[in-house]
Every structure is written in C-alpha cells, then in structure tokens.
Chain A
Amino acid sequence: MRNILPILAVLAALAVLWYAAVAPMNIRGALDVADRGGAEVIPAEPRDRFEQSAWRLMMANPDHIALGYSLDRPRLPTPVQVADELWNTTGEMALRGRAMSKRSLIYHGWITLQSTLWGFALGTVLGMAGAIAIVYSRVVDMSLMPWAIISQTVPIVALAPMIIVLSSQVGIEGRGVPKAIISAYLCYFPVLVGMVKGLRSPGAAQLDLLRTYSASGVQAFLKLRLPASMPYLFTSLKIGIAAALVGTIVGELPTGAISGLGARILIGDQFGTPLAIWAALFAAAILAGILVTLLDLTQRIILRRMGMQA
C-alpha cells in the first residue's frame, strides 16, 4: 500500500504524456475538420499537408490544435473520449436496461469471459493432470516435457484460423469451442510448469519422513505434495488466466467473428471507428484486471487458511 503514491505519480505522468501526444497525432484530422468548416488552414491543400511533419503543421495552425481533442475518428483519442465511449457502451446501456444488446460492451465482455473461463478451466485441468503425470511417471516426464516447452514456442495464433475452420467442418456450431481450445492451449503451459515445480518442491527430508510412516503414494500426494504446490499453483493460475483471455481475443480476431471483445476490435478496425477499438481494448484490460485480482484474493484467502502466507 505504500506503493500507492509512486503508482499514482507514474499514472499521472503517463496521463499528462498521453494528453500531450494527442495534439501532434490528431493535427491532420483537426486541420481537415477546420478546412471543411471553412476556416483558414496553412497549407490549404490536403496533399501539401500530407507532406509536412505534424510539428510544422501545429506551429503553422495553433488555433486549430484544440480541434484535435474532440474528433469523431481520432488517431489518438483523449482519455476522456475513451472513458466516454466506454461509459456509453456499458454503464449507460445498463441504466437503460439494454445491457445485453449487441452494441453493449457488457454483452461482448460476457461472451469473451465465457470462452476465457472455459479455456481457463480446461487448461488448468490439463495442466494439473499433465503435471501429476510428469512428476509420477518418468516416461511421461522425458517424452512430454520437451514437447510442452516446444508447444509454447509455436505461435498458436498461426493455428487459430485452422482450429476455427476445423471445428466448423467437424460440425461444431459457433466459435465458442475453438476459442476455448485456443485459450486452453495458451493457459495450460504456465499451469503445467508451475504445478510441476510445486509438486517437486518438498525437500528430500520431508519425503523421507513420509516414507518412515509407510505413507502410500496417494497419501503423500494429498498430504505433502499438493499443499506444498499451492503457492506455485496460484502464481501460475494468475499467469494462466491472463493468457486464457489473450487466447480468447486472439480467437476472435481472425475475420468473421461478430461477438466478443476481440470481435469489437475487429469491427472497429473494419469500419474505421477507432473509438470503438479503444473502448473494447480498455474493456479487455479491465476484465483482465478483475480476473487477476479475483484470483489474487482467492490466493490470499486460501493460503491464509492453510497458514502458508503472511
């Protein structure tokens, strides 16, 4: 909590930088608007403006700079514009009772969240199962682990369109399943690695102690390895859920998606409405933040009840 002040200071500095950057980024758009409105613009021809740098244009037309802060289709929206658009497509719609309309980010966020959670669940189960197999079977350890590592160096995004096509060919309706698969793919590796580390974390002395009690394999697992792996598990779950969200959005990006935050980004790009893109991005960021924070809280509660963490 003592970090609050530095964090706020850095955020404030970033906000200032952002506001300052809007002027040069939007100057051409601003001059276009001023031109159409009949005001004098130097140089008058759009073609000539294209040649000159943003700084020269700003210095030549200081009165029109302010227009850049309220464009309809800004190259760089101001924080206020983004917040406005966010509010318009979420809170305001909810207040009007239309939270789940097709234009509401809440609806799209919900679509994305569903796939993310399914992918996260699948990835976690696979990761934990894989970890247990790796720790308890040498064959699996030596054959699977290198491939698990390699699988992460393969860009799943290359496979994403493929998975979507495949699943539709096989007869699976909609994009929910392929998105969940891509999510799970990105999510299982951090969980696997973290769980393996955690299951292997008890020292030789502790394992020997259980052997002196003639504890069975299952007992050793439940009483020692599993509890010992909890801190590692939670750390990787937090990485995993962020990865699952990225996976869902990546699954929504290739052409054709119509619902989900990734789809909103795609549509915003296709229709040339940058504000929609920015709002969807921030919505995704907020969603990521909420998910990771929820996991963090769960971690604190569970570990405290187990007596493991301060």
Chain B
Amino acid sequence: MSWLVFALVFWIGAWALNASLANWRWRGTIGVRVLIPVLFGVTLIVLWEGFVRGLGVSPVILPAPSTVAGTFAASTDILWEDFRQTVLKGALSGFVIGALAAFATAILIDRSTFLTRGLLPIGNFVAALPIIGIAPILVNWFGFDWQSKAAVVVVMVFFPILVNTVQGLRETDAMQRDLMRTYAAGYLDTLIKLRLPAALPFIFNGLKIATTLALIGAIVAEYFGSPTRGMGFRISTGVGSLSIDLVWAEIAVAAMAGTAFYGLVAWMERRVTFWHPSHRRN
C-alpha cells in the first residue's frame, strides 16, 4: 500500500514540476524540452511499479518494471539473437529492398503521366489496406526463415514510399520548370538537379512511416511461422508458456528498436533537408 501512495505522490510531484518547467522562462532550451517528456515517462514507470507492488499484482498478469529489467539483464543473449533475426535480417533488409523498389518504380512511371494518374489512386488505396494479412501467404511462398519476413516488409513499405515519392516529384512549381526550360535542360538534368532534391521532404515522410511499418511487418510475419528465434516467435510462445517477463523484455527491445530506427531516419532527414522551412528555426 505504501508503494501505491509513494507512486501517487511522485506522480503529483512530477506533474507539478513539469507544469512549472513548461511555463518557465527557459522552456525553449533543448535541456528542458527533453527533461519534461523524460520526467513524464519516468512517472509512468514509477506509477507502474507502485501499482504492481502496491496492489500485489501477480507477475503472470503484469510484472513490475524492476522484474522486467532483471529479466532483460539476464537474457541479453536471447534478446540479441531475436533482435538480429527480426530487426536486422527481417525488417531492415525488407525496408531497404522495398524502399529501393518503390523509388525505382516512382522514377520509371514518372515519365508517363498516364501511368502516374493510373497508379497513384491505386497505390493510395493499397496503402490503406491491411496488407499485413498477406503474411501467411508469403511465409507459404518463401519459407519459414527471415526471407519471408523481409518479403512481408517489402510489400508493406512499398506503397507508402511509392505514393509519397510520386507526390514529391509532382510538387515542382511551374516557375522552376520554366527556368529549366530557359537553360534548355534535358529530362535527366531536370530530374536530378531540381525535382529529386525538391521531393526529398516527401520521400522522407514516406520513409518515416515505413520504419514503423517495417517492424510491425517483421514481427507479425513471425507469428505465422518462424525458426525458433525472432521477436515475434518469442512473444507468441512466451505468452503461451507464461514467461511474461521475457515477453515484456522483448517488447522493451521492440520499443527501443522502433524508436531508434525512426530516430535514425529522422536524423538523416534533418541533415539532408536542412533547407526545408520546417527544419529552420527562424
């Protein structure tokens, strides 16, 4: 019970601290901007711990963060193995292949307005579908190992990236195209020097969406058949065998992997599209 009280007091205190930080003169600095959400996150974890300990929740239902941390530390070899299988072999390779394929397709159909007008609505439609359902079929075609997972990821990321790239390539305004005409610039010059750089913000938008989809695709595909490793495999069997703390440790790895992947792409975006108004603080 005292744990619960402590957690609630912590919550109120942290909230008050956050409130004052948010209205502080120095709220614009990077330090404060990071501190506030971090404090919020820590509060959630403290609440979780207090809730579990204070109410004596069974570890089979919901283990405390401290237990999960313990299991995490004890099982790093399993976690690393699963990470390699799911994230590196499945999600990452699928992401790269899917992105390259989408990119190439976008440039190929760019030359034909007819094809673009036909493919764009279809691409938008397919991007909204529950493509994830294709996972069992692809496992059937490509086997149990990481190749089928990569295949699922390729299909899932292809359409969002394609649609965003095509849209980005269309965004060049008439004046810029006229300028290229006055230089008697050919299609290739115009594409490489003007339209591709201008399309980058859109392309990165698609890539960021794709990072979240890649991880989802790889994990769900593993629910349908996997060699005895992989995050999806571990989670589904872990739930069955009630090693819930290992499951939460895997979830923690998935969360960190997802955030890191997204963060990496966002960092690349900031470096490459430094010139876009949304990244300039003036």
A interface with B by C-beta (< 8 Å): 2-3, 5-11, 25, 75, 138-139, 141-147, 150, 152-159, 161-162, 164-166, 169-170, 238-239, 242, 245-246, 249-250, 253-255, 261-262, 265-266, 268-269, 274, 277-278, 280-281, 284-285, 288-289, 292
- Which residue of A150, A266, A288, A289 is within 8 Å of B136 (Cβ)? A266
- Report if A153-B211 is in contact (Cβ < 8 Å); known contacts: A3-B118, A6-B117, A7-B121: yes
A285 to B128, CA, bound (A): 9
Answer yes or no: B61 CB below 8 A from chain A CBs. yes
Decide: A152 and B137 in contact? CB cutoff 8 A. no
Number of residues from B at the complex interface, CB < 8 A: 63
Selected from B19, B119, B135, B258, the residue in CB contact (under 8 A) with A155 is B258
Q: Which residues of A contact B141 (CB under 8 A)?
A: 25, 75
The answer to the question of B114 belonging to the interface, with a C-beta cut-off of 8 Å to chain A, is yes
B202 within 8 A of A: no
B40 to chain A: which residues have CB within 8 Å? 143-144, 147
Within B79-130, the residues touching A (CB, 8 Å) are: 114-119, 121-122, 125, 128-130
Partner of B239, one of A11, A162, A253: A162
Q: Are B128 and A153 in contact (CB under 8 A)?
A: no
Q: A155-B254, A169-B60 are in contact. List 14 more A-B contacts (CB 8 A).
A: A7-B121, A143-B36, A145-B37, A153-B211, A153-B262, A155-B219, A155-B258, A157-B216, A158-B231, A159-B251, A169-B61, A238-B128, A281-B137, A289-B129
Which of A154, A169, A245, A250 touches B220 (beta carbons < 8 Å)?
A250
Report the Cα distance A8→B114, complex, angstroms: 11
Distance to closest chain A CB from B11 (angstroms):
12
User: Cβ of B33 and Cβ of A142 under 8 Å apart?
Assistant: yes
Cβ of A143 and Cβ of B39 under 8 Å apart?
yes
Do A161 and B247 have beta carbons less than 8 Å apart? Answer: yes
Whether B137 pairs with A274 at a CB distance below 8 angstroms is yes
Docked-complex contact A288 and B129, CB < 8 angstroms: yes
**A164→B244 CA distance, assembly (Å):** 12
Q: How far is the CA of A278 from the CA of B119 in the complex (A)?
A: 23
Q: Is the CB of B216 within 8 A of A253?
A: no
A155 lies within 8 A of B259 (CB): no
Residues of B within 8 A of A159 (CB): 251
Q: Which residue of A lies closest to B259 (CB)?
A: A153
16 A/B residue pairs, CB under 8 Å, sorted by A = A139-B36, A141-B22, A142-B33, A143-B40, A147-B41, A152-B212, A155-B212, A158-B251, A164-B239, A166-B62, A249-B130, A250-B216, A254-B223, A254-B236, A274-B137, A281-B130
Question: Are B216 and A155 closer than 8 Å at their CB atoms?
Answer: yes
Q: Within the complex, which residue of A9, A141, A153 is in contact with B261, where a contact is CB–CB below 8 Å?
A: A153
CB distance from B237 to the nearest CB of A (A): 10
Looking at the complex, which one of B130, B136, B137, B235 makes contact with A246 (CB distance below 8 Å)? B130
Give the top 10 A-B pairs by smallest Cβ distance, nearest first: A6-B118, A10-B118, A269-B136, A242-B128, A153-B258, A143-B40, A146-B37, A158-B254, A153-B262, A154-B255
B interface majority secondary structure? helix
Interface residue from A141, A249, A274 paired with B133 (Cβ < 8 Å):
A249
Check A268–B136 contact: CB distance below 8 A.
yes
- Would you call B196 an interface residue if the criterion is a C-beta within 8 Å of the partner chain's C-beta atoms? no
B224 within 8 A of A: yes
Q: How far is the CB of B248 from chain A (nearest CB, A)?
A: 7
Residue of A nearest to B124 (CB): A292
Q: How far is the CB of A128 from chain B (nearest CB, A)?
A: 21
- Counting CB contacts under 8 A, is B18 at the interface? yes
Centre residue among A157, A245, A278, A285 by max chain B CB count within 10 A: A157
Asked if A10 and B220 sit within 8 Å, CB to CB, the answer is: no
Please give, as numbers and ranges, the residues of chain A lying within 8 Å of B23 by CB-CB distance.
138-139
Q: Is B134 an interface residue (CB 8 A)?
A: yes
Collect the chain A residues with CB atoms within 8 Å of residue B219's CB: 155, 157-158
Say whether B140 faces chain A, with CB atoms less than 8 Å apart.
yes
A10 touches B36 (CB 8 A): no
B129 and A284 contact, CB distance less than 8 A: yes
B199 within 8 A of A: no
B215 within 8 A of A: yes
Q: With A and B bound together, what is the CA distance between A225 and B54 in angstroms?
A: 43
CB distance from A187 to the nearest CB of B (A): 13
Give Cα A249 to B223, complex, Å: 13
For A189, give the chain B residue with the smallest CB separation. B212
Complex Cα distance, B23 from A239, in Å, reads 34
Nearest-Cβ distance from residue A113 to partner chain B, whole angstroms: 13
Q: How far is the CA of A286 from the CA of B23 in the complex (A)?
A: 49
Please indicate the chain A residues that have their CB under 8 angstroms from the CB of B211 in the complex: 153
